[in-house]
Amino acid sequence: MSAGHTPEPLGVHFESVPEWLRGDGESADVVVSSRARLARNLAGHPFPARSTQAQRKTTLKLCKDWLSKAGLSAQTTCISLHQAAPSERTLLVERHLISKPLAKGRPLPDAQDDDRPPGETDPRAVVVGLPDEKLAVMINEEDHLRIQAISSGLDLREVLRRAIDADDRIEAGLDYAFDEQFGYLTACPTNVGSGLRLSCMVHLPALKMTGELEKVKRAAADMNLAVRGFYGEGSDAIGDLFQVSNQTALGKSEDQILHELDGEIIPRIVEYERFARKTLMSKRRAVVEDQCWRAFGTLTRARLMGAEEAMQLLSQVRLGVSMGLIRDTTVRIVNHLMLLVQPGHLQRVVGHEMDQEHRKEARATLLRTRLGG
C-alpha cells in the first residue's frame, strides 16, 4: 500500500509536532509516550559491528529495497544517514527517530584496522512513516533492523500491535535470523528472544519535588526495569522526563513483557506520581503554584535561555498545566517546545546555524513568542 519514499529532501516535517509529543492519549498527565521496539537481523549476514563495509552496504540495500515496498505506512521516507548533513542527523535524534549511535556511526576509518575507504562512514539509514512519525525503522544500527512504533500517552498494547504488524510485513520479504530455541537472534544478548523493548516516557516532577523519585527508581531497578533519561541510554533526566522499559527480552514472551509494563508497572508509576501531585496540592499548593508560575514568568520574559534550563522550566509549566494551575498554555504546546528548544530544531526554526550564545537568544525569543509572553 506504500506510495514509496517521498521525493523531498528528508520528507520529515521538522516543524510539526510528532505523534509521540501530541500530549493526548491515556494518562497523558504523566505518560508522554509509549514505544515498542523490535530488534531483528538478516539470516546469513554478520551483525553490523562484525560486518565489513561491503557487507553493510549489502544489508542496507536489501533492507531499503524491501522496506520501500513493504507497505509499512501510507507514506514513508528513507533517509540515508551517511549522506545526511550533521544538522539533519541531529534533528532526527531530537525527534527520537534515530538513536545517537546511529546518528554518529562509527568514527571515520583510519588505515590500520578498518576496511572502509578514507572519509567513508557506515552505510546506514532510517525509514520513517509519514506524516505522523508513528513508525521508524533503523537500518544497520546495533542490529540490521530496529523497528519502532510510537504513540502519545499510555498505549503499549497498540504500539506493540503496530510494531508486530510492521515486523510481519518486513518478514514477508526478508529472511530473519531466528533460532528455534532462543528466538530472534540479536547483537546484544539482552535482546535475544522476542527482541522486544517496551518503554514509556514518563513525566515525574511531583515525585522529584517530594523527594520520592529515588525510591521509585530503586523499586524499578529491583523489578529489572531500566530507567533512562530523555535521550535514552546514558542520557540525563532533563525536564523530569524518564524512559521506563524492560531491561531484558530473553526468556519472556511479548505478552509477558506487555503484561508487566502495561498491566502493572507503568500504571503504578502513574499512580505514584498522581498521588505525589495530590499531596502537593493539599499540603503545599501555594509553593507548587508559585514554582509553576515563576517558571512560566521566566519562560515568557527571559532574553537568554539555555536548553537545559528551558527543559526544567517547561517541566514545571507542564506540571502546572496538568494540575490545572496554569491555563495559559497546553500540554501539547509545552511538549512541542521541549522539542523546539533543542539545538537542532531551534536552528531549523530560525533558519540558520548559530553559536551557543546566539542560540540562547533565539531560544528565549522562541519561548516568548510561542508562550505568548
Whichever of 134 and 363 has its CB closer to a second copy, that residue is 363
Return d(Cα 358, Cα 142) in angstroms, integer.
36
Closest-CA residue to 243 (of 204, 203, 208, 200): 200
Of 48-56, 93-101, 284-292, 339-347, the segment contacting a second copy by CB under 8 A is: 284-292
> Residue 302, interface with a second copy (CB under 8 A)?
yes
Distances (CA, A) of 207 to 83, 204, 269, 293, 306: 43, 6, 10, 19, 24
Give me the 339-368 binding string for a second copy, x by CB under 8 A, dash otherwise.
Answer: ------------------x--xx--x----
> Residue 327, interface with a second copy (CB under 8 A)?
no
Distances (CA, A) of 348 to 130, 139, 156, 186, 353: 19, 25, 31, 36, 8
Whichever of 144 and 360 has its CB closer to a second copy, that residue is 360
Quick one: which of 152, 191, 298, 329 contacts a second copy (CB under 8 A)?
298
Quick one: which of 9, 87, 287, 369 contacts a second copy (CB under 8 A)?
287
Return d(Cα 341, Cα 266) in angstroms, integer.
28
Distances (CA, A) of 365 to 13, 304, 310: 22, 8, 12
At closest approach, how far in Å is the CB of 230 from a second copy? 24
At closest approach, how far in Å is the CB of 309 from a second copy? 11
* 240 SS3 class: helix
For 342, the grid coordinates are 533543542
Return d(Cα 134, Cα 160) in angstroms, integer.
12
Quick one: which of 151, 210, 243, 300 contacts a second copy (CB under 8 A)?
300
Closest-CA residue to 61 (of 82, 87, 39): 82
Output the CA angle 171-42-65, nearest 5 degrees: 65
Is it true that the peptide bond before 205 is cis, omega within 30 degrees of 0?
no
At closest approach, how far in Å is the CB of 337 from a second copy? 16
Of 2-10, 145-153, 219-227, 294-302, the segment contacting a second copy by CB under 8 A is: 294-302
Quick one: which of 293, 312, 332, 349 contacts a second copy (CB under 8 A)?
293
At closest approach, how far in Å is the CB of 126 from a second copy? 37
Of 3-11, 39-47, 132-140, 293-301, the segment contacting a second copy by CB under 8 A is: 293-301
Quick one: which of 271, 290, 308, 353 contacts a second copy (CB under 8 A)?
290
At closest approach, how far in Å is the CB of 236 from a second copy? 24
- The residue whose grid cell reads 531530537 is 94
> Residue 206, interface with a second copy (CB under 8 A)?
no
Q: Which residues bind a second copy (CB under 8 A)?
A: 286-287, 289-290, 293-294, 296-304, 357, 360-361, 364, 373
